Amino acid sequence: MGDSQYSFSLTTFSPSGKLVQIEHALTAVGSGQTSLGIKASNGVVIATEKKLPSILVDEESVQKIQHLTPNIGVVYSGMGPDFRVLVRKSRKQAEQYNRLYKEPIPVTQLVRETATVMQEFTQSGGVRPFGVSLLVAGYDDKGPQLYQVDPSGSYFSWKASAMGKNVSNAKTFLEKRYTEDMELDDAIHTAILTLKEGFEGEISSKNIEIGKIGADKIFRVLTPAEIDDYLAEVE
């Protein structure tokens, strides 16, 4: 990767033991649009702001929440193009696992492989770390799961988490509102309320995106009509 002049790793340690490039990558994530995820007792919901740069952008063509497999979905905060690359790689890894074992990939395995890719980009020649943090939501034999993956390649399982611009307010709100026995619909309401907390302007089905997965193990992105229904319930 890279020609000989850039075959060294650009991510190098600082004297204080930090990898400064990764810190900067996290800053890029922190200035991205807010996204969050909540794990309920019977499913997982992920949601994000979808603020488009201009009213002329066709909002239906923009989809921030993506499928990795029929039962695993992902959302991000940070740089959109980096997210696209990661989604492509993760989908390929999931399908390779499926081809080998004829079994859908467990959520933890896919998260681990994606995190490994992100870590590789912090220790290879001529590349920079990814400028995204991912929230991976899935439902497999171990039940509903929510993982956050950072540009460094570290991943954590969360009951509820947020990333992006409004992360501290959102997390405080989630800490207060989260309960262990929450059901999926309650979680969707809580997700909407959390997004509303730091939202600039009027929240509507055109400027947020919500994805959910329940015990049916099928990840779905909600249609604008469905989002409108939930928004009405929240009012």
> Is residue 78 within 8 Å of residue 131, measured between CB atoms?
yes
Q: How far is the CB of 131 from other proteins (least distance, A)?
A: 28
Q: Which is nearer to other proteins, 66 or 114 (CB)?
A: 114
Task: Give residues 183-222 in contact with other proteins (rule: CB under 8 A).
Answer: none
CA distance 157 to 113: 15
Nearest Cα neighbor of 196 from 227, 221, 156, 223 is 227
Two structure tokens written together for 90:
């993760």
CA distance 214 to 164: 25
Q: How far is the CB of 130 from other proteins (least distance, A)?
A: 23
Task: Give residues 29-68 in contact with other proteins (rule: CB under 8 A).
Answer: none
Q: How far is the CB of 109 from other proteins (least distance, A)?
A: 6
Residue window 75-114: x/- pattern of binding to other proteins, with contact defined by CB under 8 A = ------------------------xxxxx--x-xx--x--
Q: Which is nearer to other proteins, 99 or 176 (CB)?
A: 99
Q: How far is the CB of 66 from other proteins (least distance, A)?
A: 24
Q: How far is the CB of 36 from other proteins (least distance, A)?
A: 28
Q: Which is nearer to other proteins, 113 or 226 (CB)?
A: 113
Write the CB contacts of 41 (distance below 8 Å, at least 6 apart in sequence): 144, 180, 181, 182, 183
Q: In 3-state terms, what secondary structure has residue 221?
A: strand
Q: How far is the CB of 157 from other proteins (least distance, A)?
A: 14
Q: Which is nearer to other proteins, 13 or 101 (CB)?
A: 101
Q: Which is nearer to other proteins, 88 or 142 (CB)?
A: 142
**What secondary structure letter does DSSP report for 111?**
H
Q: Which is nearer to other proteins, 105 or 146 (CB)?
A: 105
CA distance 217 to 97: 18
Two structure tokens written together for 6:
């850039």
Task: Give residues 111-150 in contact with other proteins (rule: CB under 8 A).
Answer: 112
Q: How far is the CB of 106 from other proteins (least distance, A)?
A: 6
For 226, other C-beta atoms within 10 Å of its C-beta total 15
CA distance 78 to 133: 7
# binding residues, other proteins (CB under 8 A): 9
| Beta pairing partners, 139 | 144
Q: Which is nearer to other proteins, 109 or 123 (CB)?
A: 109
Q: How far is CA 110 from CA 72, 91, 145, in A?
A: 9, 9, 12
Q: Under the rule (CB under 8 A), what is the footprint of other proteins?
A: 99-103, 106, 108-109, 112
